[in-house]
């Protein structure tokens, strides 16, 4: 079985080494970098299945690096940071991160989050293509692609999974808890902001006017749905 390749980016060599040891013990191949500039170069030149990216680093921090990487790659990103405030988490998710782990962290929690993110970004494609569409919005489960009016829309792995859930169950309202548990494969504990940020990012990519969504609707006090009418 081919190993998953994970890029670990942190200027603290001891933390980087510790993460690498745990990842290797779980069968992952690990490549290390010490700042955002190195990370961008590596993602441009090599293929990785996931990136663990520290925020506070010299030369180029993780937030700037992630925003630049998102211009050309949808690699799943887990942010690693000493900051735990919700505003910092939201900022990271806005830039394009898929998950966020706060230092100090339990290594096994980080490994679990890596595995969960890899599962949802690499779920086995169906042997037969199934498309779901409403208006000009189309989702292809075989290609794992989304388009609006024939133009491909680039979603992160997490954004895709949320939209796939809603489009496969059109007109059904999913609560934040249900979305989180389906996509993250764990109970929702303080994940409201995480889901809300991803929903907003999806709208920015698929809606002509995100403030007046045509496809991804909110049902106040209940949850979200993709409406087909």
pLDDT in tens, 80-133: 887 766 666 777 777 778 888 888 888 898 999 999 888 877 664 444 558 899
Q: What is the pLDDT of residues 35-63, one digit of tens each?
A: 999 999 999 999 999 999 998 888 898 88
Note whether residue 12 is domain-resident: yes
Do 14 and 109 lie in a common domain?
Answer: yes
Residue that finishes a domain, picked among 121, 155, 186:
121
**Burial (Cβ within 10 Å: 0-12, 13-18, ≥19) of residue 204:** exposed
How many domains does one find in the chain?
Answer: 2
| pLDDT tens for each residue of 135-192 | 999 999 878 889 999 999 988 888 999 999 999 999 999 999 999 988 887 777 777 8
Do 214 and 194 fall into the same domain?
A: yes
Q: Is residue 156 part of a domain?
A: yes
The pLDDT assigned to 18 comes to: 93
* Helical axes 192-206 vs 176-184, angle rounded to 10°: 90
99 and 153 share one domain: no
Residue 81 and residue 110 in one domain? yes
Spatial distance between the Cα atoms of 229 and 155, rounded to a whole number of angstroms: 24
Q: Work out the pLDDT band at 1, boundaries 50, 70, 90.
A: low
Find the domain containing 195 and state its range.
131-226
Cβ neighbours around 113 below 10 Å, total: 20
CA gap 144, 123 in Å, rounded: 10
Give the residue with greater pLDDT, 12 vs 82. 12
Residue 15: count of CB within 10 angstroms of its CB: 16
Q: Are residues 117 and 11 in the same domain?
A: yes
> 148 pairs with which residues across the strands?
137, 151
The pLDDT value recorded for residue 93 is 78
132 contacts 168 by C-beta, under 8 angstroms: yes
- Whether residue 140 is contained in a domain is answered as yes
Together in a domain, 91 and 183: no
Question: Confidence band (pLDDT; 50, 70, 90) for 226?
Answer: very high
Q: Edge-to-edge, what's the strand order for the sheet holding 131-134? A: 131-134, 137-140, 145-148, 151-153
The pLDDT value recorded for residue 49 is 93
Tell whether 126 is covered by a domain.
Answer: no
Would the pTM of this model clear 0.75, i.e. be above it? no
Last residue of a domain, one of 121, 155, 180: 121
């Amino acid at each position: 079985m081919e190993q998953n390749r994970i890029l670990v980016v942190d200027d603290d060599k001891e933390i980087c080494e510790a993460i690498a040891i745990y990842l290797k013990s779980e069968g992952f191949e690990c490549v290390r970098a010490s700042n955002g500039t190195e990370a961008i170069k590596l993602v441009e030149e090599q293929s990785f299945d996931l990136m663990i990216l520290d925020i506070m680093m010299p030369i180029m921090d993780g937030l700037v690096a992630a925003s630049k990487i998102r211009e050309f790659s949808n690699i799943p990103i887990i942010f690693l940071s000493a900051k735990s405030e919700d505003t910092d988490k939201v900022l990271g998710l806005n830039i394009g991160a898929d998950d966020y782990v706060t230092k100090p962290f339990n290594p096994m929690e980080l490994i679990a989050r890596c595995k969960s993110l890899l599962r949802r970004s690499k779920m086995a494609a169906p042997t037969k293509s199934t498309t779901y569409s409403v208006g000009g919005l189309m989702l292809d489960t075989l290609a794992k692609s989304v388009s609006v009016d024939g133009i491909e829309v680039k979603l992160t792995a997490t954004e895709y999974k949320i939209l796939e859930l809603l489009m496969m169950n059109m007109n059904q309202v999913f609560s934040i808890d249900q979305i989180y548990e389906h996509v993250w494969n764990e109970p929702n504990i303080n994940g409201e902001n995480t889901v809300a940020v991803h929903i907003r990012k999806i709208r920015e990519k698929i809606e002509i006017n995100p403030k007046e969504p045509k496809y991804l609707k909110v049902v106040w006090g209940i949850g979200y749905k993709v409406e087909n009418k």
